[in-house]
Amino acid sequence: MDAQTEPEAATVTPLDQVLWGVLTNEQALVPFANAWLGLLCRMLPGATRAVLVLRQNGVAAPVARWPDGDAGSAQLAHVAELALKERRGVISRPRGRAGSQATRIDDRASHLAFPLLFDGEDQGVVAVELENASDAALRDAMRHMQWGASWIELRQRRVQSASDTARLSQGYAALEVAATTLAADGFEAAARAAATEIAVRLGASYVAIGWIKHRSVRVAGLSHAASSGKRAEATINLAAAMDEAVDQGASLVFPLPDEEPLPSRAAHARLVAQGGGPYVLTVPLTMHGQITGAIIVQRETPIDQSAIDLTEAIAALIGPVLGQFHLGERWLTTIAFHIATRTVRQLFGAEHYILKLATCAIVAVIAFFSLFHVEYRVSAPAVVEGEVRRMIAAGLDGYIGSEHARAGQIVHRGELLATLDDSELNMQRLRWIATRQQHQSELDKALATGTRAEVNIDSAQIAEAVAEIALLDAQLARTKIVAPFDGLIINGDLSQSVGMPVQRAQVLFEIAPLDSYRVIIRVPDSDIAHVAPKRAGSLILSALPDHPFGLRVVRITPIAEQADGINSFHVEARLDETSRQLRPNMEGVAKIDAGQRLLIWVWAHHLIDAVRLWLWSWWP
């Protein structure tokens, strides 16, 4: 290959080596971002300025600029915002051509921006300004930006992985401390076990756990100690330091970094003065959102953020555990007395207005229900039925010829409902008519000849033919099935049965009148004792919810039946009025008046009866 056509070897400058070293080893964000942006711009010919924007704590802000201290430009910021908004790479070319004399120097700059999208979420954007860049150079620059974005993603994932690992380690440690606490036999033993385990994991001189009793914190357990001991000076200082954290409702560290001790840390200062280590951490214990105690950690080495996070994670887990131990060791009389005194104090105290209002409302409701009488009404499902149901059956054996009405249709008296096939009957009738005419002719001949015996025979045969014709006429009349009265067809549909055979007395239709109904109420056996004939009531139908119907009980069927898991009796009632909108088999709810009762009895008598029955079944 000719020497002039060989590609020029890439050179690595000392600055590149330094930047690559920072990019590979630096953990801090700003130096890493500056090194990454510097390397990117050195790879892009014609790069004049660049900016890297990253999202931190939900806020997007520039973390690196190139060259260092560059103020940026409005066009560069516009391209970066557009890339973030459209979530894709954006290229803004100059407004004029490079060779035009009218083109200004600023107009020869192209601007590129590429969004940093990790796991479908935008984490920032990088924007670069290039001068005198061709289309091929712009495409190469965009490709370098896309490839370079993987370094940012790699760092983000490394930071997230380290954070997840730390949180996972803290979670495991907190769970192990909670497991040690749960294995104890009682409250004080659990507090000592938890304090000892925390001291071992944090490398503390000692750890103390306190619990609130009578509005002040008392030491419940010390690490590496068989018991909390008497309330000596050390124990008093521990309790005072815990009170400081409980009163402020937050974790306290002593001493504060680069600050003088505050008055709120006075007890902590006294605790340090008595020995055990110059660094103290106090974390409140909570249960059901209420502060119930505190943990104190004292050690010789400074307390960093990881130690604070671990102690707070442990406190969040063992707080409810210790609380359950403490509640479980109280006497029943103590629990009852505590609940009673707390309730009385809340009722007659200066606060807890909602509890007072709720108590007054409950008392008023109980008094109202216990004194107020209402009309008790037995409620039960009901169905409307026709008082008369006429069965229309086939008058003879045959086949369905045609149908003219079906279920749900209103018909009038004499209206044709269906017909049976009469072709065979008509043929028989014609045959007998022909036979009658033949015998009539023979009779005429016999009368002409004067033979008496033949006259008698022919007359008998003619009478037989006339009888058969009359019988066939009657059968032909039965092939036409008509409505016996005005009513509603509630059963019967022969539209799919044309041509099918039927037998004599087979039911084809059921018709109910439109002006005569009865109501069947299915009353549960638990309420049947409150129902009696002639009692009034009302009916609401699902199809006519805005039209209540009055009713009156006629009779009670003394036979129960099971339906939907309920043992019920059929109660028959008559409607006080009818409506043309009523139809058989309409369903609804009926309520039967059963006299005046206390409102509390109306609402609770089913429960009372069930409890009485259960008690009676178990009573010896």
Structure tokens at 484: 């016996």
Average pLDDT over residues 497-501: 79
4-162 classified as CATH 3.30.70.420: no
Nearest to 280 by CA among 196, 178, 208, 213: 208
* 587: helix, strand or coil: strand
The DSSP H or E segment spanning 542 is none
Is residue 322 exposed (0-12), middle (13-18) or buried (19+ Cβ within 10 Å)? buried
Q: Is there a cis peptide before residue 45, judged by omega within 30 degrees of 0?
A: no
- For residues 94 and 103, the answer to whether their CB atoms sit within 8 Å is yes
pLDDT tens digits along 400-455 = 878 877 777 777 887 888 888 778 888 888 888 888 888 888 887 877 776 777 77
pLDDT tens digits along 358-369 = 888 888 888 887
Question: How far apart (Å, rounded) are the C-alpha atoms in residues 513 and 410?
Answer: 10
**What are the beta bridge partners of residue 116?**
124
Q: Which of 46-60, 62-76, 535-549 has the highest mean pLDDT?
A: 535-549
Confidence category of residue 231, pLDDT binned at 50, 70, 90: very low
pLDDT number for residue 8:
41
Positive/negative CA dihedral, 298, 303, 305, 307? negative
Looking at residue 92, its amino acid is S
Q: CATH fold of 183-329, please? A: Beta-Lactamase (3.30.450)
pTM for the predicted model, two decimal places: 0.44
Structure tokens at 158: 């490394």
- The beta strand positions in 248-372, using DSSP E, are 252-254, 279-287, 290-299
- For residues 33 and 40, the answer to whether their CB atoms sit within 8 Å is no
pLDDT number for residue 166:
79
Q: What is the DSSP string of 339-354?
A: HHHHHHHHHHSSS-HH
Question: How far apart (Å, rounded) are the C-alpha atoms in residues 383 and 393?
Answer: 26
The DSSP H or E segment spanning 42 is helix 29-43
Strands 487-491 and 587-598: unpaired
Average pLDDT, the chain: 82
Q: Tell me the Ramachandran region of residue 595: left when phi exceeds 0, alpha when psi lies from -120 to 50, beta otherwise.
A: left
**What are the beta bridge partners of residue 380?**
590
Confidence category of residue 226, pLDDT binned at 50, 70, 90: very low
Q: How far is CA 220 from CA 201, 265, 501, in A?
A: 20, 22, 95
Domains 4-162 and 183-329 are alike in CATH topology: yes
Average pLDDT over residues 147-165: 82
- For residues 126 and 114, the answer to whether their CB atoms sit within 8 Å is yes
CATH class (in words) of the domain with range 516-618: mainly beta
DSSP state of 88: S
Determine which of 85-89, 220-224, 414-418, 610-614 has the lowest per-residue pLDDT on average: 414-418
Nearest to 118 by CA among 158, 153, 84, 167: 153
Higher pLDDT, 578 or 113: 113
Torsion angle defined by CA atoms of residues 137, 139, 140 and 145, in that order, rounded to the nearest 10 degrees = 120
Count of residues making up the chain: 620
Quote the longest CA-to-CA distance of the chain: 162
- For residues 511 and 389, the answer to whether their CB atoms sit within 8 Å is yes
Q: How far is CA 35 from CA 116, 151, 213, 342, in A?
A: 17, 11, 58, 65
- For residues 43 and 34, the answer to whether their CB atoms sit within 8 Å is no
Q: How far is CA 604 from CA 180, 271, 479, 599, 612, in A?
A: 50, 63, 62, 9, 12
- Using alpha carbons only, how large is the chain's radius of gyration in Å? 50
Residues 6 or more apart in contact with residue 295 via CB below 8 angstroms: 195, 198, 207, 208, 209, 210, 282, 283, 285, 311, 314, 315
Nearest to 454 by CA among 441, 465, 466: 441
pLDDT tens digits along 171-185 = 888 888 888 888 888
**What are the beta bridge partners of residue 127?**
51, 113
Q: Tell me the Ramachandran region of residue 289: left when phi exceeds 0, alpha when psi lies from -120 to 50, beta otherwise.
A: left
Nearest to 539 by CA among 573, 516, 496: 573
Determine which of 81-90, 108-117, 476-485 has the lowest per-residue pLDDT on average: 476-485
pLDDT number for residue 225:
57
Looking at residue 292, its amino acid is T
Positive/negative CA dihedral, 222, 209, 270, 280? positive
Q: What is the DSSP string of 140-184?
A: HHHHHHHHHHHHHHHHHHHHHHHHHHHHHHHHHHHHHHHHHHHTS
Nearest to 462 by CA among 438, 446, 426: 438
Structural domain boundaries of the chain? 4-162, 183-329, 332-371, 390-510, 516-618
Question: How far apart (Å, rounded) are the C-alpha atoms in residues 588 and 66?
Answer: 81
Determine which of 35-49, 272-286, 488-502, 572-586 has the lowest per-residue pLDDT on average: 488-502
Confidence category of residue 105, pLDDT binned at 50, 70, 90: very low
